[in-house]
A and B are shown apart, each in its own frame.
Chain A
Amino acid sequence: MLAALAAGLVLAGCGSDATSTTSPKAGSAGAGAWASTLKAAQGQTVRFWMYGGDDKVNAYIDGDVRPALARFGVRLQRVPIGDTADAVKRVVAERRAGKTSGGGVDLIWINGENFATGKQAGLWLRDWSTSLPNFQRFVNPRDPSIASDFKVPVDGQEAPWWRAAFVYAYDSAKVSDPPRDFDALLVWAKAHPGRFTYPAPPDYTGSSFVRQIVAANGADAAFAYLKALKPYMYRKGNVLPKSQAELEQLFGDGQVDFAMAYDANIVNADVRKGLFPKSTRPLVIGAGALVNVSFVTIPANAAHAAAAKVAANVLLDPRLQARKADPAVLGNPTVLDQARLGSSRRAFARALASPYLLRDLGTPVTELAAAAVAPLERRWTREVLR
């Protein structure tokens, strides 16, 4: 009873936080500008182009974000895509056709490389994200993972909403003492030939695995390591999964002993789906997990930029961020600064109570520069795959 009462109080506290987003604590000029944004957004439909392959994320956007936006008179249309590049291609095509306003994309869940490309070509709306009320109240703008995206300065052109950490999964019933660093992983692979693999870059997960080793050891040492690992991998490293889904399937079928994903919630999600055994546990290999924050951006020619800003602000609402962090919902760590959350911090406590989520991700390993990714993938194909 007391617990229910406490939960109710927390929610009520968050509710007041959420409603207070209409009146930011920034100066009155900022408040006035936000009020006019809210007014312009009334009745608009924000078309949110985002990866549509994750049912739980889709359910969160439809079930939590959409009703929150409706309170501001903004409708949300989720445009599911298979690859973020599809949304960018649409914006590029509009730019090629000379369409400088009324564009068909209002908001994109973007990744670092596509953000960097678009920023270079001037595709994104400028100087908007740092003046969002929830950004000003709850986000630490000096957090390096928020100030830059794959080493490219954000410059107010995108707003954070999602925190990703690269974690591994192992079955604690089969592997009692999993390797905790990459040297130990090589020793383990030699002792258990054919039981480890990773998706072939340029698949995002496989590319991230390579990047983590490069970030930890430098490129030359990393490629020497990957070449040394190859003969002990699944099918002697000549056949690699083409996607994370394929690797998860191999792990779920017991063909390999490790899975991996740029998602701190992978074990939790796949155990719930029945794909992974219940004895699966998450693991960080190396001194710390590779981490990055992903963002939403607004194309410069978006037809409904005001509604897109309101949506970006709602995504930073502490109540919605707490829902997102809840292991029963998405289990995704918040991008908000714990020190700035005040009483609503308690709403995030549930995120720490699951055996399927790591409490400690080690010393975070930051991402490489966006421009370094493609050359690294080509080098991998040349030196490791062939």
Chain B
Amino acid sequence: MPALAVIVVLFGGALAGAAKTSLVPLTNSGLGHPTLATWRALVHDPALWEAVRFSVRIAVLATALSAVVALTLALVLRRRGTTLRTLVALPVPVPHLLVAVVAVLWLAPGGLADRIFGALPFDLVRDRAGVGIVLVYVYKEAPFLVLLLLAAMGRGLADREEATAVLGASPWQRVRWVIWPAVRGPLVVGSIVVAAFAMGAFDVPLAVGPNSPLTVAEYAQQATANDVLAGEGLQAAALLVTAGVSMLLAMIAVRFAKDVQGG
């Protein structure tokens, strides 16, 4: 209960503050009357919807790829020693921005790779499809999900798997009926964390992303670049849109997990 109270105060308070900023403009004589003008400007800006599409595509791709890579790695690693597990977990404590900066240093136009190998035949940094952003997230988040999955694949799971094998279950049936139910929960929870992060963070898109389209977080960051007063409301509203989309993605993920399980 106290934990819930902390979340309500911190998260709810921040949301309420952002909502107020998006609705109440600052005028020459102090705070003005509540108005929907900022929201109207936001929803009629085609750049916002382009940013929402781009952000959702990045978040969904990065999360799905991370989950598949993590599940594959976890299935391989669960029977291996701690050295290999530690190696795979290494990227977890590395800050996202550091990975992005190293990627820029190596892969950006004019970067080290360009200079060593001549012009690269493909663009990963600044490419319009956002492949570079997705790859940075997969590199960072797949090991994080592996840690969650390995924790769920404890000793008990191996025993149950052995029992079903004795009863004649095929390897696919063992994955379907024994492993998947055990890892489904941590995988979905972890994926929600990854998707929400990929939706909201602006440092990686800023470092490796294209000039256009922007993610919603970059859109919000740029909103105050030219006009702090008008941009402030727009920024708050855009970030509320990000929060809304993240919650929507989380609900879809939970629903998906239930469907896969069969209700």
Interface residues of A, Cβ cutoff 8 Å to B:
83, 85, 88-89, 92, 95-96, 98, 113-114, 117-118, 120-122, 200, 202, 234-235, 238-240, 242, 249-250, 253, 255, 373-374, 377-378, 381, 385-386
Contacts and interface: CB of A to CB of B under 8 A. Distances in A.
Contacts, number: 67
Interface stretch (B24-32, B59-67, B157-165, B168-176): B24-32
B232 A92 contact: yes
B226 A373 contact: yes
* Chain A binding surface, main DSSP class: helix
A386 B110 contact: no
B27 A121 contact: yes
B226 A89 contact: no
Interface of B: 21, 26-31, 47, 109-110, 115, 123, 126, 128, 206, 210-212, 222, 224-230, 232
B28 A117 contact: no
Nearest to A253: B110
Contact of A121 (B26, B123, B222, B226): B26
A255 B29 CA distance: 52
Given A92-B26, A385-B211, A385-B212, A239 B109 contact: yes
9 contacts: A89-B232, A98-B30, A234-B109, A239-B126, A239-B210, A239-B211, A255-B110, A381-B212, A386-B212
Contacts of B211: 200, 239-240, 242, 385
Contacts of A117: 227-230
A381 B51 CA distance: 13
Contact of B110 (A92, A121, A250): A250
Contacts of A386: 212
What are the 10 tightest A-B residue pairs by CB atom distance, in nearest-first order?
A: A374-B226, A200-B211, A88-B228, A255-B110, A239-B126, A122-B28, A385-B212, A250-B110, A117-B229, A85-B228
B65 to A, nearest CB: 24
B109 A96 contact: no
A92 B229 contact: yes
A202 B232 contact: no
A358 to B, nearest CB: 27
B120 to A, nearest CB: 11
B42 to A, nearest CB: 14
Contact of A120 (B224, B229, B232): B229
Nearest to B224: A85
B136 to A, nearest CB: 16
A373 B231 CA distance: 14
B229 A249 contact: no
A238 B225 contact: no
A373 B227 CA distance: 10
Nearest to A91: B228
A120 B28 contact: yes
B36 to A, nearest CB: 19
Given A96-B26, A249-B110, A239 B225 contact: no
Which interface residue of B30, B47, B128, B211 has the most chain A CB atoms within 10 A? B211
B110 A113 contact: no
Contact of B26 (A95, A114, A200): A95
A325 B134 CA distance: 47
Contacts of A85: 224-225, 228
A98 B26 CA distance: 11
Contacts of B28: 120-122
Contacts of B226: 113, 202, 373-374, 377
Nearest to A376: B226
Contacts of B109: 234-235, 239, 250, 255
Nearest to A250: B110
